[in-house]
Amino acid sequence: MHKKIIDKTFNMFWETEVPEGEVIISRTDLKGIITYANETFAKISGYSVDELIGKPHNIIRHPDMPKSVFKNLWETIKQGKKWEGYIKNLRKDKGYYWVKTEISGIYKNGQLIGYKSMRYKMPQELKKQMQDIYDIKREQEEGNVRVVIYINKKTYDRLNKLSKKLNKHPVEILEEAVENFYYIQEG
């Protein structure tokens, strides 16, 4: 099963803002499986508390986030240090929300048994700056550029039909088509 990222509803452009003074709280086990979520987390992410508990925390991972951010996050918290940073998260309805995030360890009798996170509202200007920084990082690290293309309905329908038939993501089909065309043209 591939992720559906061709979406004519454009939910991906809808931002949900964390209200001033509210805090999104979650706790996980050592592997990042959610063990606690507060009501604010549920409200902002679009999931119910019951849906969140037992799920891996990457359920809200947004495709705009560079991999290296999470690598750095895990390296930091595994050492028992506190991680602070900015995260763009994916809502259940495919919209997004930005949060200033703090993640640290939970200890029992001096032993690390899990992690907790507190997430807050972020200034609008900072969201724009972080979007630019993450876009550049993602392009450098994964080679993935985010683009919005207007294509005619006939091409769109054919692309979706091919996608189902070949069980390939529409983006994969476009990439292959361009690759083949490029090969013919440029050798």
Ligand X SMILES: Cc1cc2nc3c(=O)[nH]c(=O)nc-3n(C[C@H](O)[C@H](O)[C@H](O)COP(=O)(O)O)c2cc1C
DSSP run (H or E) holding 76: helix 67-78
Instruction: Mark the segment that binds ligand X (CB under 6 A) among 56-64, 127-135, 156-164, 178-186.
Output: 56-64
Q: Considering only 10-18, 58-66, 129-137, 152-160, which stretch makes contact with ligand X by CB under 6 A?
A: 58-66
Among 12, 47, 52, 57, binds ligand X (CB under 6 A): 57
- How far is Cα 63 from Cα 57, in angstroms, rounded to an integer? 14
When asked if residue 103 is in the footprint of ligand X (CB under 6 A), the reply is yes
Under rule CB under 6 A, residue 28 binds ligand X:
yes
Residue 18 binds ligand X (CB under 6 A): no
Give the closest residue to 35 by CA, choosing from 124, 94, 99, 117.
Answer: 117
Number of residues that bind ligand X (CB under 6 A): 15
In SS3 terms, 25-50 reads as EEEECCCCEEEEECHHHHHHHCCCHH
Q: Are 97 and 89 in contact (CB under 8 A)?
A: yes
159 and 149 in contact (C-beta within 8 Å)? no
Q: Looking at 61, 92, 100, 121, which residue binds ligand X (CB under 6 A)?
A: 61
Site for ligand X contains 130 (CB under 6 A):
no
Residues contributing to the site for ligand X (CB under 6 A): 26, 28, 32, 57-58, 60-61, 70, 73, 87, 89, 103, 115-117
